[in-house]
Amino acid sequence: MNENRLADYLDHIRQAATDACSFVEGVDKKGFVGDKRTQQSVIMSPIIIGEAATKVMDGYAEFALAHPAVPWRGMRGMRNRIAHGYFDINVDVVWDTVQTALPELLMQLSIVRRVIGGQDGRAVPD
């Protein structure tokens, strides 16, 4: 497998998580629940994250197993719940995810990305 693709998938996850966090910057939960546009923007991020996580799990299984702190299955699972149960999305869960899980994921990814930067010699900035 091409190691550069692994870096790309991790970059997609990082960018989508960063985007989701930025979409709710300065917004409280009440504002989020009342703003369909922000909800739609944020909801797209877990779909992107889950797609990229699935690519990592399927194409780079050893890498995913070597980094169990990253919630690979959880990312895929959330993507599937959103994609297949769109009309039943719980905005409270989405809000909690963007407030807690995504910032934690970004910290985990910064560690993982340093590891792959050393493996393929490619600088992977945080």
Domain with 106, as residue range(s), is 3-120
Q: Is 79 a catalytic residue?
A: yes
| Residue 27: half-sphere exposure toward Cβ, Cα within 13 Å | 22
Task: Give the pLDDT confidence score for residue 119 in this predicted structure.
Answer: 52
Instruction: Tell me what pLDDT residue 120 has.
Output: 44
Does the residue 125 lie in any domain?
A: no
44 in a domain, yes or no?
A: yes
Of 14, 67, 76, 79, catalytic: 79
Among this protein's residues, is 67 annotated catalytic?
A: no
Domain count, the chain: 1
126 belongs to a structural domain: no
Q: What is the pTM of this model?
A: 0.85
Alpha helices in 24-122 (DSSP H): 29-33, 36-59, 61-66, 72-84, 91-96, 102-120
Per-residue confidence (pLDDT) for residue 20, from 0 to 100: 97
Low-confidence ranges of the chain (pLDDT < 50): 120-126
End-to-end CA distance of the chain: 23
Kindly state the DSSP code that residue 122 receives in the 8-state scheme: -
Say how far apart CA 23 and CA 42 lie, in whole Å: 7
DSSP string over 2-49:
-HHHHHHHHHHHHHHHHHHHHHTTT--HHHHHT-HHHHHHHHHHHHHH
pLDDT at 90: 87
Active-site residue, from 84, 113, 114, 122: 84
pLDDT of residue 21: 97
